[in-house]
């Protein structure tokens, strides 16, 4: 569900935001302090002060939430305390409490709510939110937070509304269909979490005004065709032009350009996401 607003101001006329009905209504909106880290803003500058990513800077202050991507506490039941908003990622997060008293943040699955029971490990029930090795999951399962290497923690499918599908298993490897359409193999011993990630309606957001982007740390960015020749390869010219091949100011193609290192193997990619 999304939330629309009455057009009482120009900025609210087109505004559409996620309803956030999945979040737990609490008396205080403060996250758990022991699971927070300071997050210093760099404004997209490196250690020499040079801008490495344009149009970044400003924005609201935020703390980083420590997320447990590994889910290594096997066969220990946990209860969801609250589903919370995380300013550092698109999906929601859930605060869970194990029976031994330890608390941690995890990525929240769709439909997750306070009071639900969770577990991880090979003996965990086949239920959304539980984490198991892929070898213990039934074929056709919808999964997220998938490990690329056993024990390293989830690295694949971590964005809002994302999910992959377990298609097949053979020879110690499992074949997954990724959200991009890519078919790839990972080891059967890698872990994954059942279910689809929360906050799927995020892609329906309409910002409504430029100031909302500034709150998110996004600064204005001039179109390449509107610049002067000194500012990039698409600048200048008499009259208006269409831009031809989209490129950065330094000539790097910006659409459809393969950036994968040639030294990396592609033997685990069964079908490329670009091939229809």
- What's the pLDDT score for residue 257? 82
pLDDT digits (tens, 9 = 90+) for 163-205: 999 999 999 999 999 999 999 999 999 999 999 999 999 999 9
pLDDT digits (tens, 9 = 90+) for 34-88: 999 999 999 999 999 999 999 999 999 999 999 999 999 999 999 999 999 999 9
Return the bridge partners of 173, or none. Answer: 170, 187
pLDDT digits (tens, 9 = 90+) for 119-148: 999 999 999 999 999 999 999 999 999 999
Confirm if 113 and 83 have CB atoms less than 8 A apart. yes
- What's the pLDDT score for residue 244? 82
User: Which residue's entry shows tokens 């003996």?
Assistant: 123
Structure tokens at 79: 């209860």
- What's the pLDDT score for residue 248? 87
Confirm if 210 and 58 have CB atoms less than 8 A apart. no
User: Which residue's entry shows tokens 């639900």?
Assistant: 116
Alpha helices in the chain (DSSP H): 10-13, 210-215
Percent of the chain whose pLDDT exceeds 70: 99
Residue ranges of domains in the chain:
2-27+58-202+261-271
Instruction: Tell me how far CA of residue 271 lies from CA of 64, 109, 149, 239, 261, in angstroms.
Output: 35, 27, 20, 43, 18
- What's the pLDDT score for residue 27? 64
Mean pLDDT (the chain) is 93
Residue 116 has pLDDT above 90, yes or no: yes
Percent of the chain whose pLDDT exceeds 90: 80
- What is the number of other CB atoms lying within 10 angstroms of the CB of residue 31? 18
Tell me the fold of 2-27+58-202+261-271: SH3 type barrels. (2.30.30)
pTM: 0.91
Q: Which of 55-69, 91-105, 262-276 has the lowest mean pLDDT?
A: 262-276
Alpha-carbon dihedral angle through residues 73, 76, 80, 84, given to the nearest 10 degrees: 0
Instruction: Tell me how far CA of residue 144 lies from CA of 41, 100, 159, 231, in angstroms.
Output: 29, 26, 9, 42
Return the bridge partners of 177, or none. Answer: 165, 183
């Amino acid at each position: 569900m999304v939330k629309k607003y009455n057009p009482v101001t120009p900025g609210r006329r087109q505004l559409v935001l996620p309803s956030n009905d999945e979040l737990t209504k609490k008396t205080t909106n403060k996250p758990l302090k022991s699971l927070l880290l300071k997050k210093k803003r760099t404004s997209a500058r490196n250690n020499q002060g040079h801008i490495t990513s344009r149009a970044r800077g400003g924005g609201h202050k935020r703390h980083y939430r420590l997320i447990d991507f590994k889910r290594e506490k096997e066969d220990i039941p946990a209860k969801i305390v609250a589903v919370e908003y995380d300013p550092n990622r698109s999906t929601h997060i859930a605060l869970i409490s194990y029976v031994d008293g330890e608390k941690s943040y995890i990525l929240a699955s769709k439909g997750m709510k306070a009071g639900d029971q969770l577990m991880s490990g090979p003996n965990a029930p086949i239920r959304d939110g539980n984490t198991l090795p892929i070898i213990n999951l039934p074929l056709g399962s919808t999964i997220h937070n998938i490990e690329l290497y056993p024990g390293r923690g989830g690295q694949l499918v971590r964005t809002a509304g994302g999910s992959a599908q377990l298609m097949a298993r053979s020879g110690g490897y499992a074949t997954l269909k990724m959200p991009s359409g890519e078919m790839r193999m990972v080891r059967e011993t890698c872990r994954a979490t059942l279910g689809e990630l929360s906050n799927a309606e995020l892609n329906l957001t309409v910002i409504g005004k430029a100031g909302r982007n500034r709150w998110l740390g996004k600064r204005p960015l001039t179109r390449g065709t509107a610049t002067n020749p000194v500012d990039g390869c698409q600048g200048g010219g008499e009259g208006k032009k269409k831009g031809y091949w989209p490129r950065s100011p330094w000539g790097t193609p910006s659409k459809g350009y393969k950036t994968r290192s040639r030294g990396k193997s592609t033997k685990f990619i069964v079908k490329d996401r670009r091939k229809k």
